[in-house]
Amino acid sequence: MNMTDYLNINFPGVSLESPLFYSWESALRFELGDPGVFDIDGEHYLERVYFRAIELFKELHQPNDDVILVTDAYFADVAKGRVHKLNLYQRFIKNKKILRHIQMEVIPDESDEADASIDPPFYIHRFWLPCKTREIKYAPLIQAICNQDMALKPKMKHRVFFVNITQGSIFHIYDDRGCDVISMTPDVLREVYDKYYGWILKYDKEKMDRVFRAD
């Protein structure tokens, strides 16, 4: 089963775009960084961001889980044939042999963030790589994602989604402020909801409580 078929069957109507939280009922949104802390102590701020993001990833992904690593790369009007491969994952995959299984498609950017006034339009070059969680160097990859708006390296400026086939979940760090996770059923995320309740973003907490709080 390819990625598109998997999403259509298990997450009908969901597009891999931000904000993922609002696209599905069984969804959680966690706060990674407190913006009020950044100007006071930037080092402490980032330590908390990295720690929370990595802890949530480990809780949601077991080493032998089948995962599709999805990356949306943005370019101006570039023909599909001219973008064969990006070195997106070279630093973040343990077994380089699996990189031969990277697939790509070009799709228009129809997200809420897209600027319709740009001409030529921007297209998303969507890359996806089937792998196991244990084959991903997830700690440096997560740090790179969290650094996307920082003057720091490593940096991953493209949008990344972890589609967990085994667990039936999709995990997305939208920036250093927070991350979203959705699941096929609330039961998949209820333990994470209970364990990390203190990290849940206060905004929309009532919605999450209605879905995940046990009767």
Per residue, the 3-state secondary structure of 148-190, as one string, reads CCCCCCCCCCCEEEEEECCCCEEEEEEECCEEEEEECCHHHHH
Secondary structure of 77-105 as H, E, C letters: CCCHHHCCCCCCCCCCECCHHHHHHCEEE
> Which pLDDT does position 59 carry in this prediction?
97
Q: Each residue's pLDDT tens digit in the chain (215 positions)?
A: 678 889 999 999 998 998 999 999 999 999 998 766 655 566 788 999 999 999 999 999 999 999 999 999 876 545 544 445 557 788 899 988 998 888 888 877 665 454 444 455 567 888 999 999 999 999 999 999 999 888 778 888 889 999 999 999 999 999 998 999 999 999 999 999 999 999 999 999 999 999 998 65
Count of CB atoms within 10 A of residue 187's CB? 11
Cα dihedral 161→166→169→171 (10° resolution): -30
The pTM (predicted TM-score) of the whole model is 0.88
Residue 3: what pLDDT?
Answer: 82
Distance linking the first and last C-alpha atoms of the chain: 36
Cβ-contact 181, 192 below 8 angstroms = yes
Give the pLDDT score at 37. 66
pLDDT at 160: 95
* Domain range list for the chain: 27-209
